[in-house]
Amino acid sequence: MKSFRQELWMEVPARRGFVNITPQVEAAVRSSGVREGLVLVNAMHITASVFINDDEPGLHEDYERWLEGLAPHAPTSQYLHNRTGEDNADAHLKRQVMGREVVVAITERKLDFGPWEQIFYGEFDGRRRKRVLIKILGE
């Protein structure tokens, strides 16, 4: 069995944002030489997410509004976590809802997606560098 590991470095200039990382994951699959297997893609920071959905701007705006309604950033004093001097408790909660990672099948050297599926990095406490792990296993 082959094993391949790669890191992506992300730096979203805004506090929150969504980045389609499908092309980078596809490139990693090609580099891995794996024909049949699985790829794990996960955010290596507790205020970021990796998820699969449609690459449609209206949907991304809907996510932004929905997540802000579930865990609003302000007032920051509403969160016990922020008593540590940080202001990112809402980002931890948003990450919990959106998830840490995705696993996608690799079939004939390609990501085996359903219609419209794409892989996204979700940033909830941006303006600094963060890592995404791509781990590929297979033959």
Q: Which CATH number fits domain 2-138: 3.40.50.20, 3.20.20.140, 2.60.120.460, 1.10.1240.10?
A: 2.60.120.460
User: What percentage of the chain carries pLDDT values higher than 90?
Assistant: 100
Q: pTM for the complete prediction?
A: 0.96
Contact 137, 1 (CB under 8 A): yes
> For position 119, what pLDDT does the model report?
98
Tell me: the pLDDT tens digits for 77-127?
Answer: 999 999 999 999 999 999 999 999 999 999 999 999 999 999 999 999 999
Tell me: the pLDDT tens digits for 54-71?
Answer: 999 999 999 999 999 999
Residue 81, SS3?
Answer: helix
Mean pLDDT computed over every residue of the chain? 98
Residue 133 Ramachandran class (φ > 0 left, ψ -120 to 50 alpha, else beta) = beta
Tell me: the pLDDT tens digits for 1-10?
Answer: 999 999 999 9
> For position 111, what pLDDT does the model report?
98
Burial pattern 91-108, b for ≥16 Cβ within 10 A else e, equals bbbbbeebebebebebee
CA distances from 131 to 8, 71, 128 (A): 6, 23, 10
> For position 61, what pLDDT does the model report?
97
> For position 136, what pLDDT does the model report?
98
DSSP tag of 72: -
